[in-house]
Structure 1
Amino acid sequence: MSTRSAPGPSTTHRVLVVEDDPTVAEVVTGYLSRAGYEVEHAADGLAALESAMALRPRLVVLDLMLPGLDGLEVCRRLRSGDGPPVPVVMLTARGEEADRILGLEFGADDYMTKPFSPRELVLRVTSVLRRAEAPPPAASSAVLRAGDLVVDPAARRVERDGRELALTGREFDLLVFLLRHAGRVFSREELLRHVWGWEFGDTSTVTVHVRRLREKVEDDPAAPKLISTVWSAGYRFDPPAAPTGNGGLQP
């Protein structure tokens, strides 16, 4: 079953809230509605998938613990559908790091642990949507190439060996940032600040996104050659050397 809150100013900013706790659902939908979003609510996993298919929300706020299908399975199915992946902000009452990492590994763009500030949730939703929808600056829209990897920032499209890759919004932003700063090492804290826009936060978020990105762009994710780990320092993008000797990364 799905219920609707008061519509916001634009259907392009429809948010689906998937939460089985009526009190939490009421608070979250209320705050998002007042922030200008059109908000839909689903109380279980199956209803969430039906609503997502019918309504095509711009973002899903998804509780991890749900009756029927749990949030991880809902997230996995949302990611396996056709078209660009819908951004997901996951909510969880679990405090263990392993559960937060699981959510990120299943494709969540962000997460918040209960109890949380509704105002902060609105800010997180806005941040995720802004990054997913904002066009890149004109001066930085040139296509980037590294070996068989081709990244089009303007179209937010990535191809590897001619095959389009399905990246989440954060994975795409992380890849573009590393490509544009190839050869430079960034700590996890620096990546949180530059890619996520967070001045503080759980750096395991970066670790999980790097691992997921490697699974999509590396020949062997267990022995990465593009996204290198610099121990005690952070991560570095190493473009492959071009056969012509002109360098692997080209604008």
Structure 2
Amino acid sequence: MHVLIVEDNPDIIANLFGYLEPLGYTLDVVRNGNAGVARATAAFHDAIILDLSLPGMDGVEVCRTLRQEYRLATPILMLTARDTEHDKLTGFEVGADDYLVKPYSLPELDARLKALVRRSRNEHVQSVLSFGELRLDAGTGRVTRAGQLLDLTPTGYKILTALMRAAPTLMTREAVEREVWGDSPPDSDALRTHIHTLRQVLDKPFPYPMLLTLPGTGYRLAAPGET
């Protein structure tokens, strides 16, 4: 699981790394609100741990900006030392998915993160995803671009689902591999081969490409006018 930590307290950061990394988490960290917005919108994360009290832009503003301006759907777990109903309601109103008051239990934080990610993925499974000309109906397995049915391989379907869920944010190669193969990815050429096959179906018959590659980094979907 790839998690972004937006926290300025070095002791808390060290505790989170010390507990979560041995459990298999991949952690990304920034120490202020502006950097949090930039990092959250520049790369795919399964969840965000967001401190309420941050230098510059506080956690409430970060959450509001991600939800309202960027329409980012990544689950957000908010951390705060403020244990009042008003603060919790404010966090939920701006788009936080869950709330933990310091000091908190690290096993509980782990459990809540996993629950948020499960809930998020289940919601996507039960819904229709759309981005630009693309429409993916997880209930029927049908994928269309501009109304034309796409004949995807099972792996291509998994890759496209992950990219649509993240769109238009970039997904690293590692993040795509985790979505498709979990913790046991195949050799390094396998993803490249599946991306090539997906691109033949997704882009070749159409006037402009939607599946973009950032060499050495990852992949993302682009809307019309971005290419």
Please indicate the TM-score interval, normalised by the length of the shorter structure. 0.5 to 0.7
Give the helix-richer structure, 1 or 2: 2
Which among 109, 119, 140 is matched to residue 131 of structure 1?
A: 119
Check conservation: 2:4, 2:29, Cα contact below 8 A. Answer: yes
For 1:156 and 1:55, the matched residues in 2 are separated by: 19
Shift of 1:135: 6.7
1:122–1:101: structure 2 CA closer, same or farther, 3 Å change rule? Answer: same
1:103 to 2:91 alignment: yes
Match of 2:16 among 25, 28, 48: 28
Q: Which residue of 2 aligns with 1:86?
A: 74
Distance 1:81 1:134, change over 3 A: same
- In the alignment, the residues of structure 2 paired with residue 59 and residue 119 of structure 1 have an alpha-carbon distance, to the nearest angstrom, of 16
Give me the whole-angstrom Cα distance separating, in 2, the residues matched to 1:46 and 1:135.
Answer: 29
- Secondary structure at 1:134's aligned position in 2? helix
- Rounded to whole Å, the distance in 2 between the matches of 1:118 and 1:42 is 20
Report Cα offsets for 1:10-64 as digits up to 9, x if no partner.
Answer: xxx3100111110011111332222212110111101111111222212110000
Is the Cα–Cα contact under 8 Å of residues 100 and 111 in structure 1 kept in the other structure? Answer: yes
TM-score normalised to structure 1 length:
0.48
In 1, Cα distance between equivalents of 2:112 and 2:27: 15
Percent sequence identity is 40
Q: Is the 8 A contact 2:41 2:70 kept in 1?
A: no
CA–CA distance in structure 2, aligned partners of residues 14 and 121 of structure 1? 15
Moved over 6 A (4+): none
Cα 1:91–1:50 shift into 2, 3 Å: same
Q: What residue number does 1:56 align with?
A: 44
Whole-Å separation in 2 of the counterparts to 1:84 and 1:93: 25
- Quick one: structure 1 residues 109 and 156, their matched pair in 2 at CA, closer, same or farther if it must change by over 3 Å? farther
**Contiguous gaps of at least 5 residues in structure 1:** 1-12, 137-151, 158-251
* In structure 2, C-alpha distance between the alignment counterparts of 1:154 and 1:64, rounded to whole Å: 31
Does the CA-based 8 Å contact 2:66-2:72 persist in structure 1? no
Q: CA deviation at 1:84?
A: 4.9
> What displacement does 1:156 show?
6.7
* 2:56 partner letter: G
Contact 2:7 2:31 in 1 (8 A): yes
Pairwise mapping of residues 85-234 of structure 1 onto structure 2 (< 5 A)?
A: 85-134=73-122, 153-155=126-128
CA, structure 1 residues 116+107, in 2 after alignment: closer, same or farther (shift >3 Å)?
Answer: same
Contact 1:29 1:41 (8 Å CA) reproduced: no
In structure 2, relative to structure 1, the CA distance for the partners of 1:135 and 1:66 (3 Å cut) is closer
Superposed CA RMSD: 2.0
TM-score (norm 2): 0.53
Structure 2: gaps (5+ residues): 131-227
